[in-house]
Amino acid sequence: FLEESKKEKLKYENATFQTYMWKGNETKILLVHGWESNSSRWEKIVLYLKNTGSTIIALDAPAHGLSQGKKFSVPQYSLFIHEVVQKYQPQYLIGHSIGGNACLYYQHVFPTEIKKIIVLGAPCDFEIILNNYIALLSLNSKLTKELKEKWELEYKQKIEDFSAQLFVQNSKIKGLIIHDIEDKTVAINEGKKIAQAWKESLFIETKELGHSLQDEKVFKEISAFLIE
């Protein structure tokens, strides 16, 4: 599936990252995957969206897929997104999981001509993401404290202030938030918090689709939202 795309490596500072493009018309959609994933997760939706005639672009996150890097963070991911947006000028962004959070952070830091953003199963608060990561690695309290202090020092921001609610509260961009009630990776309340703060957004709750949201019903909602 990725072999059918036009592949191109872009560079930000010393990091090279991978992009993929399925050429269509002047309508351009950028796909932003989540943590421990890569652009191959978009196979089903790319096949669906190609029917609209749109040009579809995807990128591999820092330290994911074919992109370089030893660490992953939302601020760093947003810089990769910015490079892709400057080069290809998509009108629409679709982000899954932490990729959705990165899309919202990106539009907050780099106001652009993006018309609509769709976030799928996205976390709202970075603290939630970090706590999941800490639990996954079974870090003790000392290492947890060190990790949080290092992050705040590097990004010059309190962890509790790094929230999608703050990123979208003044956004004029139209948004679609889709979250499954049975999402075991990112609780549905995270999606609801984003929707509450984002005045220009529509919230859709699904059932029995889990975190991946790989379903034709979701693809139909996305397609309808993009063309309305």
Which tens digits make up the pLDDT trace of 71-90?
Answer: 788 999 999 999 999 999 99
**What is the C-alpha radius of gyration for the chain, rounded to an integer number of angstroms?**
17
- Nearest Cα to Cα of residue 179 among 132, 221, 213: 213
Q: Where are the domains of the chain?
A: 2-125+164-227, 126-162
SS3 113: coil
pLDDT at position 160, please?
84
How far apart CA 88 and CA 84 sit, in angstroms, is 6
- Nearest Cα to Cα of residue 102 among 150, 33, 151: 33
Q: Residues of the chain whose pLDDT is less than 70?
A: none
How far apart CA 68 and CA 122 sit, in angstroms, is 24
pLDDT at position 69, please?
79
How far apart CA 136 and CA 134 sit, in angstroms, is 5
Beta sheet of 174-180, edge-to-edge order: 6-12, 15-22, 55-59, 28-32, 92-96, 116-120, 174-180, 201-206
pLDDT at position 228, please?
82
pLDDT at position 118, please?
99
pLDDT at position 156, please?
81
Residue 56 CA, chain-centre distance (Å), reads 15
Q: What is the number of residues in the chain?
A: 228
pTM over 0.85: yes
β pairing state of 15-22 and 6-12: antiparallel
SS3 37: coil
Q: 1-40 pLDDT, tens per residue? A: 999 999 999 998 888 999 999 999 999 999 999 988 999 9
Q: What CATH code would you report for 2-125+164-227?
A: 3.40.50.1820
